[in-house]
Amino acid sequence: MSYRYKIASVFLIGFFLDCINIFMSAIALPSIASTFNTGTANVAWVANSYILGMTLVIPMSTWLASRYSSRNVLSFSMVLFGCSVFFCGLSTSLYELIGWRFIQGIGAGLMIPIGQSLTFSLFQQKQRAKVSTFIMMVALIAPAISPTIGGLIVEHLSWHWVFFSSAPLSIIVSILAWYWVDNDNKADSERPDIKGLFLVSTALIALLVGMSIYSNSQYGIKAELIGTFAIVAALILVGIYIEHDKNHHDPIINLSLFKNNKLTLSIIIYYAIPGVFTGINLLNIFFLQDVLHFSADKTGMFMILYGIGAFIAIIACGKTYNHIGPKKLFVISLLIHSAGVASLLWVHLGSPIYVIILAYILMGLGGGLGANCAQTTALMDFDEHQMLKGSVIWNINRQISFCVGAAFFTMLFNLFCMNAHFQNADAYHLTYLIAALIGIFTLIFIVKRQKVTL
């Protein structure tokens, strides 16, 4: 095997591990919530803490690689990932599990950008398209099969083994990285914007904590005030960062890049489609298992349908992107995805299973089309100098959209559950309705502001 394919293999296996750990653990959340006797808002932090760890370290990964060498950082990241995922499985409390998931996210956050950068540097022009296809296939296959595998593990073993199962492969990747990646010379590089990173990370944590606390009825009025304070604090920190961005020559998130219409539109789409789906899928996992009494493995199988829809959409996007253009494709993806979310309104105890099948296929079609189109469009106008800064914004945005989507819809659901007029199933359906409407409002925004002709 040539050197560049060894590097690509290390990156793709590490990327696969990251993807399956997001979706396998999601299927296990109802079982984890039952074990620790907690609700959806609290157990959502099992996913949020992982993404927070990634968000925190992604902007520092290239600096660490230049300072300590790519081989050392890649190998260490997978050791950290493997050890933390093992301790996730040994966790005896929810807070312990959340802590180890945060560390696991740091390991993934080091691996992904460095591995991608090394791989892309070795595959140029037309060859890069082949690698991009491999990456898209991993990004498609892992979410499609991992919920089913995770469901089978939960049903026949326990949720602990959802985490244990990833440890051996991560250690193998660490060994491969140590022996296959050249020990490149360390180079002095400019220290990253630590203050900006602190402000962004703290603002995100405050926002997620505020929504989580605010949505828990058992905490009482005093806790709700604390939650409101946390959300206000997040907004204040965002304001401080805006001033910091004006005075720093190389901020961690360069806000001036948001003047690029394609980047801004792609970010909005990512919140309206993948962000919304992350939150709705999380809630629907609980709905299917707790209300409809589906098994974990049966629940996980619906993601295969999502993957089939996404696969079809990705192929369609590649064939039609240059002909139709991104804005019209965004409109089509929002329509299809919102229709899929709205289909969940007709899912109830005793309803035919084809309604759920239709919902996941439509969400897969809309999600695959919207995400792939956004990925293609976001950095299209950037030159080589702006590409790295734009890439940082894009990768951080992707992680934050997942966090915010999960936290926001979990908060809405719990707020509806507090209302005595709503039964549990009603709270789920009302949350699905709002999610569908968010897609429609985003569609109207694109049509009016971006002057899209239908």
Say if residue 27 is in the same domain as residue 119. yes
- Hey, what are 298's tokens? 């049966």
Region of poorest pLDDT, from 36-45, 133-142, 163-172, 407-416? 133-142
* Structural contact between residues 33 and 82, judged by C-beta atoms closer than 8 angstroms: no
| Confidence at residue 187, expressed as pLDDT on a 0 to 100 scale | 58
Judged against a pLDDT cut of 70, whether residue 386 lies above it is answered with no
Question: What's the rounded mean pLDDT across residues 167-175?
Answer: 89
Residues in the chain: 454
| Position 329 in a domain | yes
- The residue among 151 and 418 whose pLDDT is bigger is 151
Residue 172 belongs to domain spanning: 1-179
Q: Which residues contact 117 (CB under 8 A, 6 or more apart)?
A: 62, 65
Number of domains in the chain: 3
CATH of the domain at 55: 1.20.1250.20
- Hey, what are 301's tokens? 């199988």
* Structural contact between residues 337 and 371, judged by C-beta atoms closer than 8 angstroms: no
Helix (H) or strand (E) run with residue 95 in it: helix 94-122
Question: What's the rounded mean pLDDT across residues 100-107?
Answer: 91
Tell me 450's DSSP state: T
**Between helices 3-35 and 70-90, what is the axis angle to 10°?**
20
Say if residue 36 is in the same domain as residue 143. yes
Say if residue 82 is in the same domain as residue 218. no
Judged against a pLDDT cut of 50, whether residue 344 lies above it is answered with yes
Question: What's the rounded mean pLDDT across residues 432-441?
Answer: 93
Where do the DSSP E strands lie in 52-206? none
| Position 188 in a domain | no
- The residue among 41 and 105 whose pLDDT is bigger is 105
What are the pLDDT digits (tens) for 119-131?
777 776 566 556 6
Distance, in Å, from the CA atom of 43 to the CA atom of 40, rounded to the nearest integer, reads 5
| Confidence at residue 340, expressed as pLDDT on a 0 to 100 scale | 94
Say if residue 241 is in the same domain as residue 264. no
Rg (CA), the chain: 21
Average pLDDT of the chain, as a whole number? 82
| Position 106 in a domain | yes
Burial class (CB in 10 A: 0-12, 13-18, 19+), 180: middle
| Confidence at residue 451, expressed as pLDDT on a 0 to 100 scale | 60
- Hey, what are 307's tokens? 């993957």
What are the pLDDT digits (tens) for 314-332?
888 877 877 888 888 889 9
Tell me 186's DSSP state: P
What are the pLDDT digits (tens) for 212-257?
776 665 555 666 677 778 888 888 988 898 888 888 877 877 788 7
Judged against a pLDDT cut of 90, whether residue 436 lies above it is answered with yes
| Confidence at residue 384, expressed as pLDDT on a 0 to 100 scale | 56
Say if residue 261 is in the same domain as residue 386. yes
Judged against a pLDDT cut of 50, whether residue 454 lies above it is answered with no
Distances 267 to 133, 264, 324, 330, 407 between C-alpha atoms, Å: 22, 5, 20, 12, 18
- Domain-ending residue, one of 179, 202, 225: 179
| Position 187 in a domain | no
- The residue among 314 and 79 whose pLDDT is bigger is 79
